[in-house]
């Protein structure tokens, strides 16, 4: 591709993407196509092209395909899972990053990019009120950020050479992990992948607010020690994935210190809300953690993928990942990120994060995060006006609720009715995910299937929120009319 062709195709493409941004709110959230329809569009069974094609034409075709048939997480009414709208500046940042293509594994291969990553990490730490001289690394997302911290904890707390000899304690007993029952599934993957086994996890029950029960936690730690096991890691969640619940982080810090455990906070979703003054109290204790995982591709609006692991003692990352002697010294000490994490060659994902931090600054992020929380709260309050909509939880920017047909209100709690309500709300969720009016996901809270709105979206307005109850009421009544007889008799 010549520079001239690149220029032409690039300009055309940027125009199309700007058009997409302008028209986003008027489009359905999703085209709701079936897997077969999508495969047809793509001509999925076609063979590998044997000949070359014109780059401009293929790019135009790819833009048609992707722009017209995707689910838009940048749509003002996208409220599913925890997936954010991408910051336009990050989109452009990715273009620079891939055009220059520094390999951010080693300083020598990526001098400016390495320093930009280091600065981004310091700024993220600052935003979280975490020591700015901590260690850190950007990775692909929350799972990977939690894994990196997990491996740092494992290497720091095992009293044998776990990197050399493996995860089974030579002197017997078993490494033990403590986390609430609401902890994200990364912990199972980590315990499995890194050789401890999922049976090493102690799932601690939660209180009414879905926060870890600290009394049960201490009892379990004591019981395990008495059995000769080796408690080593305590995980607090700062914004659970289902409901946004924040564990009592200061109490956990105390328990970790008293029991000599590595204290890790999973703030992949909620962590950045610590910067919001009205939330500060709930995050008390997070800054005492030995490590924190946050996700710039959630509340910092970096386009996918960007996660960030922060570790209080920077040496702990090298101790977990480096295969060089850490006393390597050049004239000036430099960071070679391959020593700080699992990757070798690494892309320049820091640029989109750094650009977002520079553009929005602290006050911009505080305002955007606060807006999301306020909007989720507005929905929770609004639900009070609708007798068919039962509010269930509100925490951070997550609100959960369910639809109950008016004539079933008196029978809530009956087993058959609860089963029916679960089915009905599941169908409503399915319709919401296919129909394109608004996109929600779900949670299961104490056996109830509930609709779950999670706003990590700088485009959502109060009018979008006000429109939601009527949409759910309409779909609820329609689906109830269709399936009640068949399910409930």
Among 186, 338, 401, 449, binds ligand PLP (CB under 6 A): 186
127 CA to centre of own chain: 17
- Segment near ligand PLP (CB under 6 A); pick from 139-147, 197-205, 368-376, 393-401: 139-147
CB of 183 to ligand PLP, least distance (A): 8
Instruction: By CB under 6 A, tell whether 143 contacts ligand PLP.
Output: yes
Q: Which residues contact 255 (CB under 8 A, 6 or more apart)?
A: 214, 217, 218, 221, 234, 261
CB of 246 to ligand PLP, least distance (A): 10
Q: Which residues contact 272 (CB under 8 A, 6 or more apart)?
A: 127, 128, 294, 298, 299, 300, 365, 369
The whole-angstrom separation of Cα 108 and Cα 110 is 6
CB of 294 to ligand PLP, least distance (A): 10
Print the binding letters for residues 234-273 with ligand PLP: x by CB under 6 A, - otherwise.
---x---x------------------------x-xx----
CB of 82 to ligand PLP, least distance (A): 5
Alpha helices per DSSP H over 79-161: 88-100, 111-127, 142-157
Among 117, 295, 339, 372, binds ligand PLP (CB under 6 A): 295
**Which CB atom, from 183 or from 425, has the smaller least distance to ligand PLP?**
183
CB of 338 to ligand PLP, least distance (A): 21
The whole-angstrom separation of Cα 235 and Cα 404 is 36
Among 74, 244, 307, 469, binds ligand PLP (CB under 6 A): 307
Edge-to-edge strand ranges of the sheet holding 448-454: 78-79, 439-445, 448-454, 398-403, 389-395
Name the residue among 308, 319, 400, 401 with its Cα closest to residue 353: 308
CB of 249 to ligand PLP, least distance (A): 13
Sign of the torsion angle spanned by Cα atoms 317, 318, 320, 321: positive
Name the residue among 196, 293, 204 with its Cα closest to residue 252: 204
Instruction: Select the residue whose beta carbon is closest to ligand PLP and give its number.
Output: 142
CB of 186 to ligand PLP, least distance (A): 5
Print the binding letters for residues 27-66 with ligand PLP: x by CB under 6 A, - otherwise.
----------------------------------------
**Which CB atom, from 110 or from 268, has the smaller least distance to ligand PLP?**
268
Print the binding letters for residues 63-82 with ligand PLP: x by CB under 6 A, - otherwise.
-------------------x
Name the residue among 2, 317, 272, 369 with its Cα closest to residue 153: 317
Print the binding letters for residues 192-231 with ligand PLP: x by CB under 6 A, - otherwise.
----------------------------------------
How many residues belong to the site for ligand PLP (CB under 6 A)? 13
Phi first, then psi: what are they for 262, rounded to 5°? Answer: -70, 130
**Which CB atom, from 75 or from 184, has the smaller least distance to ligand PLP?**
184
Among 102, 141, 236, 476, binds ligand PLP (CB under 6 A): 141
Could you tell me if 184 and 268 are in contact, meaning their C-beta atoms sit under 8 angstroms apart?
yes
Could you tell me if 158 and 342 are in contact, meaning their C-beta atoms sit under 8 angstroms apart?
no
The whole-angstrom separation of Cα 303 and Cα 87 is 7
CB of 99 to ligand PLP, least distance (A): 25
> 3-class SS at 144?
helix
Name the residue among 250, 247, 241 with its Cα closest to residue 284: 250
Print the binding letters for residues 364-403 with ligand PLP: x by CB under 6 A, - otherwise.
----------------------------------------
User: Residue 292's beta-bridge partner residues?
Assistant: 265, 310
Q: How many CB atoms neighbour CB 471 within 10 A? A: 17
Alpha helices per DSSP H over 326-414: 350-382
**Which CB atom, from 237 or from 318, has the smaller least distance to ligand PLP?**
237
Name the residue among 245, 262, 303 with its Cα closest to residue 452: 245
**Which CB atom, from 144 or from 335, has the smaller least distance to ligand PLP?**
144
Among 77, 154, 184, 394, binds ligand PLP (CB under 6 A): 184
**Which CB atom, from 287 or from 397, has the smaller least distance to ligand PLP?**
397
**Which CB atom, from 310 or from 383, has the smaller least distance to ligand PLP?**
310
Q: Using CB under 6 A, which residues numbered 422 to 441 contact ligand PLP?
A: none
Helices H / strands E in the chain, number of each: 14, 12
CB of 71 to ligand PLP, least distance (A): 16
The whole-angstrom separation of Cα 422 and Cα 427 is 9
Among 136, 142, 236, 244, binds ligand PLP (CB under 6 A): 142
Could you tell me if 311 and 291 are in contact, meaning their C-beta atoms sit under 8 angstroms apart?
yes
Q: Which residues contact 278 (CB under 8 A, 6 or more apart)?
A: 370
**Which CB atom, from 237 or from 287, has the smaller least distance to ligand PLP?**
237
Q: Which residues bind ligand PLP (CB under 6 A)?
A: 82, 141-143, 184, 186, 237, 241, 266, 268-269, 295, 307
């Amino acid at each position: 591709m010549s520079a001239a062709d690149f220029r032409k195709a690039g300009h055309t493409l940027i125009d199309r993407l700007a058009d997409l941004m302008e028209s986003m709110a008027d489009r359905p959230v999703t085209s709701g196509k079936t897997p077969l329809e999508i495969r047809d569009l793509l001509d999925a069974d076609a063979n590998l092209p044997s000949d070359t094609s014109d780059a401009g034409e293929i790019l135009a075709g790819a833009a048609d395909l992707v722009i017209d048939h995707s689910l838009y997480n940048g749509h003002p009414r996208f409220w599913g899972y925890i997936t954010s709208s991408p910051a336009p500046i990050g989109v452009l940042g990715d273009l620079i990053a891939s055009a220059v293509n520094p390999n951010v594994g080693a300083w020598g291969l990526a001098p400016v990019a390495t320093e930009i990553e280091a600065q981004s990490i310091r700024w993220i730490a600052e935003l979280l009120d975490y020591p700015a001289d901590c260690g850190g690394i950007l990775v692909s997302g929350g799972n990977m950020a939690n894994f990196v911290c997990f491996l740092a904890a494992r290497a720091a707390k095992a009293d044998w050479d776990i990197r050399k000899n493996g995860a089974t304690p030579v002197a017997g007993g078993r490494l033990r992990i403590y986390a609430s029952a609401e902890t994200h599934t990364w912990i199972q993957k980590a315990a499995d992948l890194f050789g401890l086994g999922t049976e090493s996890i102690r799932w601690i029950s939660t209180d009414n607010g879905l926060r870890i029960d600290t009394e049960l936690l201490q009892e379990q730690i004591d019981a395990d020690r008495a059995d000769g096991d080796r408690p080593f890691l305590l995980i607090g969640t700062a914004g659970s994935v289902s409901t946004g619940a924040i564990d009592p982080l200061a109490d956990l810090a105390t328990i970790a210190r008293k029991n000599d455990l590595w204290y890790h906070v999973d703030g992949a979703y909620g962590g950045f809300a610590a910067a919001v003054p009205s939330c500060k109290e709930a995050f008390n204790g997070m800054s005492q953690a030995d490590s924190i995982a946050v996700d710039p591709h959630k509340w910092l609006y970096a386009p996918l993928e960007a996660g960030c692991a922060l570790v209080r003692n920077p040496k702990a990352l090298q101790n977990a990942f480096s295969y060089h002697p850490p006393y390597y010294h050049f004239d000036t000490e430099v960071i070679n990120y391959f020593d700080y994490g699992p990757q070798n060659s690494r892309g320049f994902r820091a640029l989109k994060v750094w650009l977002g931090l520079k553009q929005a600054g602290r006050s911009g992020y505080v305002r955007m995060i606060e807006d999301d929380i306020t909007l989720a709260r507005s929905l929770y309050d609004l639900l009070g006006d609708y007798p068919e909509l039962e509010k269930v939880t509100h925490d951070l920017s997550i609100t959960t609720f369910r639809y109950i047909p008016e004539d079933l209100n008196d029978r809530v709690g009956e087993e058959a009715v609860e089963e029916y309500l679960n089915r009905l709300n599941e169908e409503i969720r399915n319709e919401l995910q296919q129909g394109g009016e608004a996109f929600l996901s779900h949670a299961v809270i104490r056996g109830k299937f509930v609709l779950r709105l999670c706003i990590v979206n700088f485009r959502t307005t109060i009018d979008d929120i006000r429109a939601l109850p009527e949409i759910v009421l309409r779909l609820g009544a329609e689906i109830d009319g269709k399936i009640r007889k068949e399910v409930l008799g």
